[in-house]
Amino acid sequence: MLAYYLDIVVEKHLRRRLLKTSKQTSDAAYGEGDIYAAIAELSSSLTDIGDDEADTLAANDCALRVIDDLQRRFDLQGRRSGLVTGFNRFDDLTDGLQLGEQTIIAARPSMGKTAIGVNIVERVCIRDQIPTAFVTLEMSPAALMKRLLSSWGNISMNSLRSGKFTQGEFSKFSTFTALVRQRPLWIVDAISGMDCNRVAAIIRRLCRKNGIKLVVLDYLQKIKPASKQEKRTYEVGEVSGILKSLAAETGAAFLTLAQLNRESEKDKEKGGRRPPLCDLADSGQIERDADTVALIHREDRSQLGTELIIAKQRDGELGMNYLHFNGQFCRFENATPPPDTEIPT
C-alpha cells in the first residue's frame, strides 16, 4: 500500500516539474532572449525530469558495464573499437576515434589542421560510409568540398583554382558528385560566426535525425561563447566543456580542431620545438576536457615531414605518427620517420 501511494507522489511531483518547465519554455519563446540558449536549457531540463538518479550507479553496475565493454571489444576480433582515421600509428595507439569522446587535434595556422580533418572525413564518411557532420567555422563549404575532391580524386589544388582541367579530371568531377550524393555527410556552414548553444542545438538535431557518428569542428576557438565573460580563457573553457558534454550526450566521436599559441614558433634558429599541451591557445580547460589530444608539429611550413604527436590519452599510450604532407592534393599520408628522428613518448 505504501509503495502505491509513493508512486502517486512521484507522479504528481514529475507533473509539477513538467508544468514548470513548460511555463519557462513558453516565457522564453515569447521573450527576447537567445532562442538557442532556451532550446539548450529545455533539452537539459527534459532530460533531468524523472531522471534524478541517472548519474548515480552502484559499484556492481559500473563493473558490469566494464565487463560488457570488454566483451564488445573481444567480439571485434582485432577490429577497431573506434572510427578508423587511416593514420596507422594514431589508430594503433588510440584504437580509432572513440564514440562518446572528444579528440582534439591542434596546431599553429597553416600546419594542416583542416587538411587532417578533411582526410579523416574522407576515410570515415566517403570510404566507410559512416554518418558524419562537419561544422566549418574556418572556410566555406565550397572550399571544403574542393579539398575533399582534390584528395579523393588526385586532382591538384592548382588545377581546381586555375580551371585548367584534363578530360580525365572532368570525368572525376561527375563521379565525385554522384559519390558524395550517396554518402551520409552534412556540412554546417558556421563561417559567419555561431555561438556554442546554436552549434550544440544543430549537432543534437543532426545526431537525432541522421544517426551521426563523427562530428568534426573546425575550429574550437572560433565558436562564440553563450555570453560575454570577464576573460577569454573562461569563454573558451565554456565552449570546450559544452562540446565535451555533447560528445557524451550524443554518443558520437568528436574531432575538434584547435589552435596552438605562438610559443612553439620561438627559437626558430634552433628549428623550433615540439609543442607541449600547455601551448593550447586561450584555455587550459581544453586539455582537461579532452579525452585525447594530438599536436601537429613541423619545423616550418615548407617542410613536408609532419609529426602527429599524441600528447594526452586518458586510456592509452602516448606516441607519434609520422606523416608526409602531399601539398598538391592537400593530403596527409603515412610515412616512415627519418632514421635520426627522435620519437616522442
Amino acid in position 126? I
User: Cα(225)–Cα(236) distance, rounded to whole angstroms?
Assistant: 7
Q: Where are the alpha helices (DSSP H) in the chain?
A: 2-30, 35-48, 59-75, 88-94, 113-121, 141-153, 157-162, 167-181, 196-210, 232-250, 285-289
* Per-residue burial over 281-309, b = 16 or more CB atoms within 10 Å of its CB, e = otherwise: bbbebbbebbbbbbbbbbeeeeeeebbbb
Q: For 191-202, write each residue's pLDDT tens digit.
A: 888 888 889 989
Determine the average pLDDT of the residues in 81-95. 93
Place of cell 560510409: 129
Q: Are 291 and 98 in contact (CB under 8 A)?
A: yes
DSSP reduced 3-state for 254: strand
For residue 56, the model assigns a pLDDT of 58
User: Cα(215)–Cα(30) distance, rounded to whole angstroms?
Assistant: 32
pLDDT surpassing 50 at residue 250: yes
For residue 54, the model assigns a pLDDT of 47
CATH of domain 84-334: 3.40.50.300
Q: For 28-63, write each residue's pLDDT tens digit.
A: 777 766 766 666 666 666 556 555 544 555 666 666
Cell of 159: 588545377
pLDDT, the chain, mean: 82
Say what angle helices 196-210 and 35-48 make with each other, to 10 degrees: 60
For residue 53, the model assigns a pLDDT of 47
104 backbone dihedrals φ, ψ, rounded to 5°? -100, 130
The most confident of 31-40, 212-221, 266-275, by mean pLDDT: 212-221
pLDDT surpassing 50 at residue 78: yes
For residue 42, the model assigns a pLDDT of 64
For residue 186, the model assigns a pLDDT of 95
User: Cα(224)–Cα(307) distance, rounded to whole angstroms?
Assistant: 30
User: Cα(288)–Cα(292) distance, rounded to whole angstroms?
Assistant: 10
177/78: higher pLDDT:
177
DSSP reduced 3-state for 231: coil
pLDDT surpassing 90 at residue 226: no
Q: Which of 3-7, 82-86, 231-235, 289-293 has the lowest mean pLDDT?
A: 3-7
Sign for the pseudo-dihedral over CA of 147, 153, 154, 160: negative
DSSP reduced 3-state for 320: strand
Q: Which of 18-22, 84-88, 143-147, 246-250 has the lowest mean pLDDT?
A: 18-22
What is the domain partition of the chain in residue ranges? Answer: 1-52, 84-334
Q: For 287-300, write each residue's pLDDT tens digit.
A: 888 999 999 998 77
For residue 230, the model assigns a pLDDT of 78
For residue 64, the model assigns a pLDDT of 67
Determine the average pLDDT of the residues in 217-233. 85
User: Cα(39)–Cα(105) distance, rounded to whole angstroms?
Assistant: 29
For residue 46, the model assigns a pLDDT of 59
Q: Are 170 and 253 in contact (CB under 8 A)?
A: no
Q: For 302-322, write each residue's pLDDT tens digit.
A: 678 899 999 999 888 899 999
Cell of 83: 572510427
Place of cell 565552449: 239
Q: For 322-342, write each residue's pLDDT tens digit.
A: 999 998 888 999 988 877 666
